[in-house]
Amino acid sequence: MFSLKEKNAIITGGGSGIGKAIALLFARQGAVVHIIELNSDNAQQAVDEIKQQGNEAFAYSADVSKQDQVLATIQQIGKVDILINNAGIAHVGNVENTSPADFDRVYDVNVKGAYNCLYAAIPLMKAQGGGAILNMASIASSVGIADRFAYSMSKGAIHAMSMSVARDYLKDKIRSNSISPARVHTPFVDGFIAKNYPGKEEEIFEKLSKSQPIGRMGQPDEVAALALYLCSDEAGFITGCDYPIDGGFIKL
């Protein structure tokens, strides 16, 4: 079940957190993993860990918001069976304290970054006869998060993008789905706490954990397991869907 043998999987932002957990799991399931990362040290570290597992992986240093870098990298990879649009950045602020520069950067990475990867990967997937795309949204895409104006907007766009791609490329056997996590314990969350609550890290970590209905944050491996199912051939009947993985956040 859930074998990814002989599949080439591109994972953006695969050097940290959720993307790294997906990279390690997909490699264990037989995929050749290609990590596209801004942070080349972290990407190389992830590749080293994958090789220590006895699996195959490659690191590429690129900024997903730059179309020339993404096109060159994905064309170099050449074969794309799975694309995980995972790289993303956060921004704290409501409308009034989101500057045009902040807004542009969040959109450039979270939205245009995903588009750039689709633009490069879809022609390759079509030529190969199909593929699986998974886009990392957020619960912010459906309920909005207070003080995360640009971030919530960007994740809403990912949600719509994912469904639009699913419709357009159904006939090409390309499936497109998204995952919407609530808080998952990654460097993304640790960085947010350290920056905004210096000296109160443990207290805030506890508070954020308890604020989720299930009483804890998610783990990157839990998101990776869902990603594996959605990108496997066993999920061949699933496209155009969004899957919350949220400890009850949306429904309870």
For ligand NAD, the binding residue among 49, 56, 63, 102 (CB under 6 A) is: 63
Q: Which of 163, 46, 69 has the alpha carbon at shortest distance from 117?
A: 69
> Which residue is listed with tokens 């950067």?
105
* DSSP H or E stretch at residue 57: strand 57-61
Catalytic one among 107, 115, 119, 151? 151
- Bridge partners (DSSP) of residue 105 are none
For ligand NAD, the binding residue among 55, 65, 152, 239 (CB under 6 A) is: 65
Distance CA 219, CA 217 (A): 7
Which long-range contacts (C-beta less than 8 Å, at least 24 apart) are formed by 122-129? 122/165, 122/169, 122/174, 124/74, 124/78, 124/79, 124/80, 125/80, 125/81, 125/83, 125/169, 125/172, 125/174, 126/169, 126/172, 126/174, 128/79, 128/80, 128/81, 129/173
> Of the ranges 58-66, 114-122, 165-173, 235-243, which one interacts with ligand NAD (CB under 6 A)?
58-66
| Residue 125 sits in the site that holds ligand NAD (CB under 6 A) | no
Nearer to ligand NAD, 21 or 32 (CB): 21
| Residue 136 sits in the site that holds ligand NAD (CB under 6 A) | yes
Distance CA 170, CA 115 (A): 18
For ligand NAD, the binding residue among 7, 8, 11, 12 (CB under 6 A) is: 12
Binding map of ligand NAD across residues 68-107, x = CB under 6 A, - = no contact: ------------------xxxx------------------
| Residue 16 sits in the site that holds ligand NAD (CB under 6 A) | yes
CA 53 from chain centre, in angstroms, equals 22
| Residue 186 sits in the site that holds ligand NAD (CB under 6 A) | yes
Instruction: Please report, as residue ranges, which positions from 145 to 184 form the binding site for ligand NAD (by CB under 6 A).
Output: 181, 183-184
Task: Label the pairing between strands 82-85 and 57-61.
Answer: unpaired
Tell me the closest approach of the beta carbon of residue 180 to ligand NAD, in angstroms. Answer: 7
Q: Is 151 among the residues known to form the active site?
A: yes
Q: Which of 8, 16, 22, 20 has the alpha carbon at shortest distance from 225?
A: 22
Distance CA 64, CA 13 (A): 9
For ligand NAD, the binding residue among 7, 10, 11, 15 (CB under 6 A) is: 15
Please give the C-alpha separations between residue 172 and each of 20, 122, 188, 198, in angstroms, as whole numbers: 29, 10, 35, 50
Tell me the closest approach of the beta carbon of residue 129 to ligand NAD, in angstroms. Answer: 28
Nearer to ligand NAD, 107 or 173 (CB): 107
For ligand NAD, the binding residue among 55, 113, 114, 166 (CB under 6 A) is: 113
Nearer to ligand NAD, 79 or 185 (CB): 185
Chain positions contacting ligand NAD, by CB under 6 A: 12-13, 15-19, 37-39, 42, 63-65, 86-89, 109, 113, 136, 138, 181, 183-184, 186-189
Active site residues: 151
